[in-house]
Amino acid sequence: MTQYSVFDSEKALDYVASLAPLFNLQAPLNCYEFGDGNLNLVFRVSDSTGRSIILKQALPYARCVGESWPLTLDRARIEASVLKLHGVICPETTVKVLHQNNQLALTILEDLGQLAILRTALNNSETFPKLSKDIATHLATTSFNYSDFVLTPAKKKSLVSEFLNPELCAITEELFFDDPYHQHERNNFPITLTERVNALRSNTHLRLEVAKLKAKFLSSPQTLLHGDVHTGSIFVDANTTKVIDPEFGFFGPIGFDLGSFVGNLLLNYCAQQARIESLPQRRQMQTYLISCIAECLLTFEQSWKDLANAHSLDVTLRDPVYIEYFVGSIIQDAVGYCGTELIRRTIGLAHVADIDNIEDEQARLAVAQHTLFIGEQLILNSSSCTSQKQTMQLLLSLLN
Ligand code: SR1
Ligand code: MG
């Protein structure tokens, strides 16, 4: 079976059955599709003993829009390859790839069904003690090891060309940096936000900062990014954190992944205002989210400096003064990208369930106003944030 065709449950089951010994599965097998993401098909195949695996297949179009938005199948190769490279560095926090077939645009992955999707769990007010440290360590360690501090220039250039990923980068370039700041049919916001959106669009300082962030996204191959670290790309329980879904992976600015993650925690923070009625319970959840952000930024900052001071191979970049400067610039970028994530998830094409599932229209609107305000302020003030401490000072001033 080498010619690409879109799988249904039967085809997925047959494919897995043909390789069953590889996954230690015993017949009879059972299969169903349960993907609810924006882009792909996701099947679970389980056996008579209760063992199971996940088969993920890329569709030749964006699932959330339909066949009118064609999309490269090569994203399946990118995703499996990023998982393998990140998995070598951070096996504990990266979902395991069991099998990869680039022609069929499919990947077989370990089943993480015993864990929860972070977005769903946060929306149910669940908290996870290891989450922020795990994600910060994952992002710091993978980004350091695929940066110029470690890779030879030749290896780095060869990897950059392996992970160009132009079509998925174009989605990010447009959805993060173009659409929200212009009139575009893909944008999605209630008419009641029009005045606020127009104010964002006519803010020349904001547009300048967004243009700088886009330019950096386009032209700064600093490391092999995941490219889409939102809370739907993370599985969790009390002891485990696993990152999935890096089909947007490419060599880009290190602060992008960190900013996306923090942005999603902030989206949840704002949404909790309308989700949790009881004031003490809401305060508890929001305090947890802020402490996650603080711990994540601090762990990232310290880990990156420690790694760079101890393990940099490049004779010039390993200068402690440069390392200090460079980590500061990552934090600054992360603050800016975090702001763009808040804005695009509020008024752009791809929203988050945290906000969209708030039933009360007025409450939902108030949350959207809040995320737009925080997003805008983070973008405008990112140049004053070159450390965790400065970033937390800014954030706390915006949230109180
Ligand atoms: C058309 S894809 C929309 C969004 O879903 C993905 O998960 C990315 O976040 C992308 O921006
Ligand atoms: Mg995804």
CATH number at residue 300: 3.90.1200.10
Based on the domain organization, do 361 and 256 belong to the same domain?
Answer: yes
What DSSP designation does 94 have?
B
Question: Torsions phi, psi of 35, nearest 5?
Answer: -65, 135
Instruction: Name the domain boundary from 110, 141, 172.
Output: 110
Q: What percent of the chain has pLDDT over 70?
A: 100
Based on the domain organization, do 246 and 331 belong to the same domain?
Answer: yes
30 within a domain of the structure (yes/no): yes
Calpha distance 67→302 (Å, rounded): 45
How far does residue 199's CA lie from ligand 2's centre (Å)?
31
pLDDT surpassing 90 at residue 2: no
95 within a domain of the structure (yes/no): yes
2 within a domain of the structure (yes/no): no
3 within a domain of the structure (yes/no): no
Tell me how far CA of residue 161 lies from CA of 164, 166, 173, 359, in angstroms: 5, 11, 19, 46
Give the tokens for residue 334: 């992360």
4 within a domain of the structure (yes/no): no
Based on the domain organization, do 207 and 267 belong to the same domain?
Answer: yes
- Report the pLDDT value the prediction gives residue 238, as an integer from 0 to 100: 97
Taking only the tens place, the pLDDT of each residue in 361-372 is 999 999 999 999
- Which residue's CA lies nearest to atom 6 of ligand 1? 38
Count of domains forming the chain: 2
Give the tokens for residue 308: 């760079």
Taking only the tens place, the pLDDT of each residue in 303-351 is 999 999 999 999 999 999 999 999 999 999 999 999 999 999 999 999 9
- Report the pLDDT value the prediction gives residue 400, as an integer from 0 to 100: 76
Based on the domain organization, do 324 and 293 belong to the same domain?
Answer: yes
Q: What is the DSSP string of 64-93?
A: TTEEEEE--THHHHHHHHHHHHHHHH-GGG
Ligand 1, atom nearest to 69 Cα: 1
1 within a domain of the structure (yes/no): no
Of 185, 200, 199, 197, the closest CA to residue 365 belongs to 197
Give the tokens for residue 120: 């769903």
- Helix or strand holding residue 12 (H, E): helix 9-18
Instruction: Name the domain boundary from 110, 144, 163.
Output: 110
- In this structure, the strands spanning 52-58 and 106-110 are antiparallel
Based on the domain organization, do 121 and 106 belong to the same domain?
Answer: no
- Report the pLDDT value the prediction gives residue 100, as an integer from 0 to 100: 98
CB within 8 Å of 106: residues ≥ 6 apart: 7, 15, 55, 56, 57, 58, 76, 100
Taking only the tens place, the pLDDT of each residue in 59-78 is 999 988 899 999 999 999 99
Of 261, 270, 52, 8, the closest CA to residue 139 belongs to 261
- Helix or strand holding residue 43 (H, E): strand 40-46
Q: What is the DSSP string of 234-288?
A: EEE-SS-EEE---TT--EE-THHHHHHHHHHHHHHHHHHHHH--SHHHHHHHHHH
CATH number at residue 62: 3.30.200.20
The mean per-residue pLDDT over the stretch 184-207 comes to: 98
pLDDT surpassing 80 at residue 387: yes
Angle (CA) 176 329 86, round 5°: 70
Based on the domain organization, do 176 and 101 belong to the same domain?
Answer: no
- Report the pLDDT value the prediction gives residue 1, as an integer from 0 to 100: 55
Range of the domain at 244: 116-399
Based on the domain organization, do 288 and 367 belong to the same domain?
Answer: yes
- Report the pLDDT value the prediction gives residue 36, as an integer from 0 to 100: 85
Based on the domain organization, do 128 and 180 belong to the same domain?
Answer: yes
Q: Which of 64, 79, 173, 228 to mutate to test the pocket of ligand 1 (most atoms within 8 A of CB)?
A: 228
Taking only the tens place, the pLDDT of each residue in 120-139 is 999 999 999 999 999 999 99
The mean per-residue pLDDT over the stretch 45-59 comes to: 96
Instruction: Name the domain boundary from 50, 79, 110.
Output: 110
Taking only the tens place, the pLDDT of each residue in 239-283 is 999 999 999 999 999 999 999 999 999 999 999 999 999 999 999
How far does residue 38's CA lie from ligand 1's centre (Å)?
6
Based on the domain organization, do 148 and 287 belong to the same domain?
Answer: yes
Based on the domain organization, do 353 and 294 belong to the same domain?
Answer: yes
377 within a domain of the structure (yes/no): yes
Based on the domain organization, do 120 and 106 belong to the same domain?
Answer: no
Is 353 in contact with 178 (CB distance < 8 Å)?
Answer: no
CB within 8 Å of 380: residues ≥ 6 apart: 205, 206, 209, 339
140 within a domain of the structure (yes/no): yes
The mean per-residue pLDDT over the stretch 11-35 comes to: 94
Angle (CA) 42 44 48, round 5°: 170
- In this structure, the strands spanning 223-224 and 97-101 are unpaired
Residues lining ligand 1, Cβ inside 6 A: 38-39, 62, 64, 171-172, 175, 228, 230, 350
Based on the domain organization, do 101 and 121 belong to the same domain?
Answer: no
Give the tokens for residue 257: 């992944």
Calpha distance 132→163 (Å, rounded): 27
